[in-house]
């Protein structure tokens, strides 16, 4: 119609909600991320978000799963201890890229396909390293909890962050 102002808006979707959340949380802190603030970023009414995400907890789980998907996996045939080092370094790399989301991963463990693949690769590496099947889950929890604790301290500013060159054979926790 002549004289009417129509705006083109990107359609809202669950993916749009999840993709819009991390920049706000990383800029203003996780506590600043509300459904109202997310709706403002997306240019939609707050209540319309609930057509795409059940609630804030489901939104946050989507964010955790999206960030976890950034963790790379080593190639097949990588020796078991190298595989575990690789996964730990990848977790650290992703955490340092999204430091304000690290507390979220502690309270909202990922459930997405990529997260399950990380666990599967780690379990396989532990098994190939000779860890008994009855102890694999415990060994994984020990290593992943240690990595999460270290990265949480590092992202919280308690430990000095230092870069690792690709050829480095010592992880920060090894030093």
Other beta carbons within 10 Å of 48:
11
What pLDDT does residue 90 have?
Answer: 96
Rounded distance between C-alpha atoms, residue 170 and residue 94, angstroms? 18
* Average pLDDT in the chain: 86
Alpha helices in 5-68 (DSSP H): 14-28, 35-42, 46-49, 56-68
What pLDDT does residue 104 have?
Answer: 86
Rounded distance between C-alpha atoms, residue 14 and residue 72, angstroms? 24
User: Residue 173: which of 156, 153, 157, 165 has the closest Cα?
Assistant: 153
Is-contact 129 81, C-beta < 8 A? yes
What pLDDT does residue 139 have?
Answer: 96
Which of 5-19, 59-73, 121-135 shows the lowest per-residue confidence on average (mean pLDDT)? Answer: 5-19
Judged by DSSP in three states, 77 sits in coil
Which of 29-43, 54-68, 80-94, 147-161 shows the lowest per-residue confidence on average (mean pLDDT)? Answer: 147-161
What pLDDT does residue 175 have?
Answer: 42
In the structure, what pLDDT confidence band is assigned to residue 174 with cuts at 50, 70 and 90?
Answer: very low
Segment 31-51, tens digit of pLDDT: 888 999 999 989 999 999 999
pTM: 0.78
Q: What is the mean pLDDT of the segment spanning 92-112?
A: 89
Other beta carbons within 10 Å of 170:
9
Segment 154-165, tens digit of pLDDT: 887 676 666 655
Query: CB within 8 A of 21, min separation 6: which ones?
Result: 33, 38, 59, 60, 62, 63
């Amino acid at each position: 119609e002549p004289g009417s102002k129509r705006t083109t808006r990107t359609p809202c979707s669950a993916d749009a909600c999840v993709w819009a959340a991390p920049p706000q949380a990383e800029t203003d802190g996780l506590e600043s991320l509300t459904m109202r603030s997310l709706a403002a970023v997306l240019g939609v009414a707050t209540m319309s978000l609930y057509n795409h995400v059940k609630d804030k907890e489901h939104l946050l789980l989507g964010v955790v799963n999206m960030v976890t998907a950034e963790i790379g996996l080593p190639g097949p045939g990588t020796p078991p201890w190298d595989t575990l080092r690789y996964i730990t370094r990848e977790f650290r790399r992703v955490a340092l890229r999204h430091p304000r989301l690290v507390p979220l991963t502690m309270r909202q463990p990922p459930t997405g396909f990529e997260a399950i693949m990380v666990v599967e690769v780690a379990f396989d590496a532990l098994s190939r390293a000779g860890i008994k099947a009855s102890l694999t889950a415990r060994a994984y929890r020990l290593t992943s909890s240690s990595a999460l604790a270290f990265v949480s301290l590092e992202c919280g500013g308690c430990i000095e962050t230092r870069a690792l060159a690709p050829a480095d054979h010592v992880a920060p926790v090894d030093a």
